[in-house]
Copies of this chain bind each other. A is one copy, B any other.
Amino acid sequence: MSRVRVHNFAVSLDGYGTGEGQTLEAPFGHAGQRLHGWFFGTGAFREMQGKSGGEAGADDAFARRWEPGIGAEIMGRNKFGPQRGPWQDEEWKGWWGDNPPFHTPVFVLTHHPRPSLEMEGGTTFHFIDATPQEALRQAREAAGGLDVRIGGGPETVRQFLAADLVDHLHVVLVPIVLGRGERLWDGLEELESRFPTVESVTTPSGVTHLTFTRP
């Protein structure tokens, strides 16, 4: 059965998955790179950038779980780019250059659909105005039996959790207080009760990896 997975989703102690004030130069707003310091040192991240080396410990092991078995991703529009409202600039093709790291169909949730974008390396962005359930139906069809990743941002992950559509949730707790931005946990009271297995592990980078899983 195709499962729905969230990986490497970093939140602050106060539950923010991104900061306030996203811009072209600051995809995570005032959070800057503070939510992802644990990731930049990993071999997984270096490979994405075409480099070798990097750490191969627990942060890296978790980071690498992001890819195998995934046949499609669903992301919110704010993960795709900083524009809001009707598209002013259809030249914008995401933050990731000509060859994005997804290498699968990617469904971008937006109230303003636009033509699909076929990128190098197997990534195609589809822009759809859909409920979580409908987006998942389309993503599953595109995934050809593989799993579907919910890629963020916080509001998108939160909506899929609220609709109880997520089977595997990997959250990285970063010991900082962001103070403002978009929160993950709102409206998810007793989320833990839906997952028979909840594990926590801290790594030398100081973050705590939390995994909520169900069969």
Contacts and interface: CB of A to CB of B under 8 A. Distances in A.
A98 B35 CA distance: 47
A94 interface: no
Interface residues of A, number: 29
A108 interface: no
A118 interface: no
B14 A13 contact: no
B173 A179 contact: no
Interface string A176-215: 1111100101111111100000111110001110100000
A179 B190 contact: yes
Given A200-B206, A206-B198, A208-B202, A178 B173 contact: no
Contacts of A208: 173, 200, 202, 208
A178 B15 CA distance: 12
A145 interface: no
Contacts of A122: none
Given A177-B185, A177-B190, A191-B177, A200 B210 contact: no
Given A178-B189, A179-B190, A200-B206, 20 more contacts: A13-B15, A13-B171, A13-B173, A13-B210, A14-B185, A14-B186, A14-B188, A173-B173, A173-B208, A175-B192, A175-B198, A175-B200, A177-B185, A177-B189, A177-B190, A179-B187, A199-B206, A200-B202, A201-B202, A202-B202
Contacts of A199: 206
B192 A188 contact: no
Interface in A12-68: 13-15
